[in-house]
Chain A
Amino acid sequence: DAGVTQSPTHLIKTRGQQVTLRCSPKSGHDTVSWYQQALGQGPQFIFQYYEEEERQRGNFPDRFSGHQFPNYSSELNVNALLLGDSALYLCASSLVSGGEKLFFGSGTQLSVL
């Protein structure tokens, strides 16, 4: 049983560009959350998707957007990249019906130059 998978593992972009990160949840999970982990810090909640809709959102600008597909996979899009967007982006999946336990992927390391 595959866990949470994220792609790509590493990505290098330049300021002003746009990026799309992808996540496939653990089999059977219906909810996907995204977190940003800057170097030396704890993860920060970006947003959560369930039934293809954004359920909750953290304190991130509108440059950060997402999508969830019918198969529960998800994308995180970041527009107009800033140097400060450089971070490890973690995807976590869970069950909306009783999933206080999150399963995390290994993350996508984004470097903005």
Chain B
Amino acid sequence: AQSVTQLGSHVSVSEGALVLLRCNYSSSVPPYLFWYVQYPNQGLQLLLKYTSAATLVKGINGFEAEFKKSETSFHLTKPSAHMSDAAEYFCAVSGIKAAGNKLTFGGGTRVLVKP
């Protein structure tokens, strides 16, 4: 069984400030981990993924995430927020042998960027 917990349903940051979105997971098998972004009235777009290679993963739009097995965490960061980063972000987990398999998502974190 797998589950994802995203701490904080809403995060407000100033433009240019650090963005930190927290994700903790539970998985009975080695996990694949993902971060997706959802803009209003759109589907989900993959930001980055961890698939058992490097623990620090770099994604699109300047985002990165670090897999910490001991903490069962996969937090998402961006050094400097931009207005275009305002969106909802979802962390997700799947089993390591789950090619194209089902994802279990967290509840999401909505990011507001203040000018």
* Smallest Cβ-Cβ distance to A29: which chain B residue: B100
**Chain A binding surface, main DSSP class:** loop
Instruction: Tell me the B residues contacting A by CB distance below 8 Å.
Output: 4, 9, 32, 36, 41-46, 49, 51, 90, 92, 94, 98-108
* Smallest Cβ-Cβ distance to A105: which chain B residue: B43
Q: Do A102 and B105 have beta carbons less than 8 Å apart?
A: no
Q: Compute how far the CA of A9 lies from the CA of B36 in the bound complex, rounded to whole angstroms.
A: 21
Listed from nearest, the 9 A-B pairs whose CB atoms lie closest are A42-B105, A94-B100, A104-B43, A99-B100, A45-B102, A104-B44, A106-B43, A31-B100, A42-B107
Q: Do A42 and B90 have beta carbons less than 8 Å apart?
A: yes
Q: Do B102 and A97 have beta carbons less than 8 Å apart?
A: no
Q: Do B99 and A99 have beta carbons less than 8 Å apart?
A: yes
Give 1 or 0 for each of A37-81: 1 = CB within 8 Å of chain B CB.
Answer: 000111111001010000010100000000000000000000000
> Nearest chain B CB to A28's CB is how many angstroms away?
13
Is residue A11 within 8 Å, beta carbon to beta carbon, of the partner chain? Answer: no
Q: Do A106 and B42 have beta carbons less than 8 Å apart?
A: yes
Is residue A112 within 8 Å, beta carbon to beta carbon, of the partner chain? Answer: no
Is residue A95 within 8 Å, beta carbon to beta carbon, of the partner chain? Answer: yes
> Nearest chain A CB to B99's CB is how many angstroms away?
5
Tell me whether A43 and B99 are in contact in the complex, defined as CB-CB below 8 angstroms, given that A100-B32, A100-B51 are known contacts.
no
Tell me whether A106 and B51 are in contact in the complex, defined as CB-CB below 8 angstroms, given that A96-B99, A97-B99 are known contacts.
no
* B residues near A4, Cβ cutoff 8 Å: 43
* A residues near B108, Cβ cutoff 8 Å: 40-42
* B residues near A104, Cβ cutoff 8 Å: 36, 43-45
Is residue A84 within 8 Å, beta carbon to beta carbon, of the partner chain? Answer: no
Q: Do B100 and A96 have beta carbons less than 8 Å apart?
A: yes
* Smallest Cβ-Cβ distance to B108: which chain A residue: A42
Among B44, B46, B101, which residue has its beta carbon within 8 angstroms of that of A56?
B101
* A residues near B98, Cβ cutoff 8 Å: 100
Q: Do A33 and B107 have beta carbons less than 8 Å apart?
A: no
